[in-house]
Amino acid sequence: MTLKGFIMVLLCLIKALLRLIEALQHNIEVLLRLIMAPLCIIMVLQRLIKVLLCFIIALLRLIMALSSLISSWLVAHLPFDLTIQPSDVTSQIKFKVLESLKLLENEVLLNDWFGSSKV
């Protein structure tokens, strides 16, 4: 084998090695895309859950405000005097519900699931 033939074989081997590296790079890119797709879906679902929880919290606050408004209106417009006063149990339940709502709201707004993404 001549020097020219040896160099040609060596160049062909280098060219084949470069094509192999290029194919491996492409396969790695495809694999990374396959891994990233479910993660992106999970992040979108996480944000959707956070938005839904914020909506539920707002809805519960609205219901509590409406119930308070209705009870105040009823007390003011009933034709007879109410002798029944709200018990301590009722006020304790209302306090616990408000406390739980605040804790849930803080958890939704401040806690980071799957990373540091914010709604």
Kindly tell me if the per-residue pLDDT of 99 is higher than 50: yes
Contact 54, 109 (CB under 8 A): yes
Q: Is the pLDDT of residue 84 over 60?
A: no
pLDDT at position 119 is: 43
The pLDDT > 90 percentage for the chain reads: 44
pLDDT of 57 above 80: yes
Q: 24 vs 76, which has greater pLDDT? A: 24
With residue 58 as reference, give the H or E element that holds it: helix 3-77
- Please say whether the beta carbons of 108 and 57 come within 8 A: yes
